[in-house]
Amino acid sequence: MQINILAGGDPSLWPEKLFDQPGLWIGADRGAWRLYQHGIPMLLAVGDFDSLSQDELQLLESHLEKNEIIHVKAEKDETDTELALLYAQTKKPDIINIFGATGGRLDHLLSNLWLLADSKFESIVEKTHIIDNVNDVSYLASGSKTIHKISGTKYLGFMPLTEVTHFKIIDAKYTLALTQNVYKMWSSNEFVTDTVDVSFDKGILMVTQTKDRT
């Protein structure tokens, strides 16, 4: 099963034909309003909905059953996207794709990118992607892993989100072998073939596959 989460980020950064995606949808805050506008059924709408006008919120609430919307107070520990991800995790999906999570405030972007470093998401670390029209962000737990090139992307990057030890990039254009953790974005690497192998002893590694915005 695939679950898609739509957060409230700029629609101009959505991938083409976003709503042709297979799977079930969750709307986080204004993302729920945008799903409603496009006539997309939702498993859940969740958030404090502070980005919606009162009229928009009333329309959204009238469109959904009571068990399909969770309205939380603005003063909370979790972000709206985090709450959506927590709910998605309970459904035990095979894939979770998050859209609308980039392109806005920098603190929101960093919060979204670091969500999967939290141990409470351990079961979905390698199932989750954050996607926009030029970026695909995925995550790896420790071990020996093979990364498959996503069609249309050019650049490959790696960023330790937690302490990552003995990190090796084995067969990309630029190889790497570290003995100690370095909190650095290892960016602008490239695939030589359709796969790249990496390994590391512990931690969570963020993987980016990107292209230039035209």
pLDDT of residue 205: 96
90 and 128 assigned to the same domain = yes
Number of domains in the chain: 2
Tokens 């590694």 belong to 205
Q: What is the pLDDT along the chain (214 residues), one digit of tens a residue?
A: 999 999 999 999 999 999 998 999 999 999 999 999 999 999 999 998 888 889 999 999 888 888 789 888 766 778 899 999 999 999 999 999 999 999 878 888 999 999 999 999 999 999 999 999 999 999 999 999 999 999 999 999 999 999 999 999 999 999 999 988 888 999 999 999 999 999 999 999 999 999 988 7
39 and 110 assigned to the same domain = yes
98 and 173 assigned to the same domain = no
pLDDT of residue 91: 96
pLDDT of residue 144: 98
147 and 125 assigned to the same domain = no
Among 133, 155, 186, residue at a domain's last position: 133
Q: CA 115 → CA 60, 104, 125, distances in Å?
A: 27, 16, 9
Domain that holds residue 172: 134-214
152 and 102 assigned to the same domain = no
Among 113, 133, 153, residue at a domain's last position: 133
> In 3-state terms, what secondary structure has residue 101?
coil
110 and 144 assigned to the same domain = no
169 and 88 assigned to the same domain = no
> In 3-state terms, what secondary structure has residue 64?
coil
119 and 153 assigned to the same domain = no
pLDDT of residue 65: 83
Q: Residue 162 corresponds to which tokens in the numbers above?
A: 């937690």
53 and 83 assigned to the same domain = yes
pLDDT of residue 108: 86
139 and 121 assigned to the same domain = no
Predicted TM-score of the model (pTM): 0.93
Among 79, 102, 133, residue at a domain's last position: 133
Tokens 């072998």 belong to 177
Give 143's contacts (C-beta < 8 A, 6+ positions apart).
199, 200
Tokens 């790249």 belong to 196
Provide the sign of the torsion angle of the four alpha carbons 156, 18, 69, 8, taken in this order. Answer: positive
Amino acid at 65: E
Yes or no: say if 139 and 193 are a contact pair by the CB < 8 Å rule. no
Q: In CATH, what number is assigned to the domain containing residue 171? A: 3.40.50.10240
The candidate with the shortest Cα–Cα distance to 166, out of 131, 195, 205, is: 205
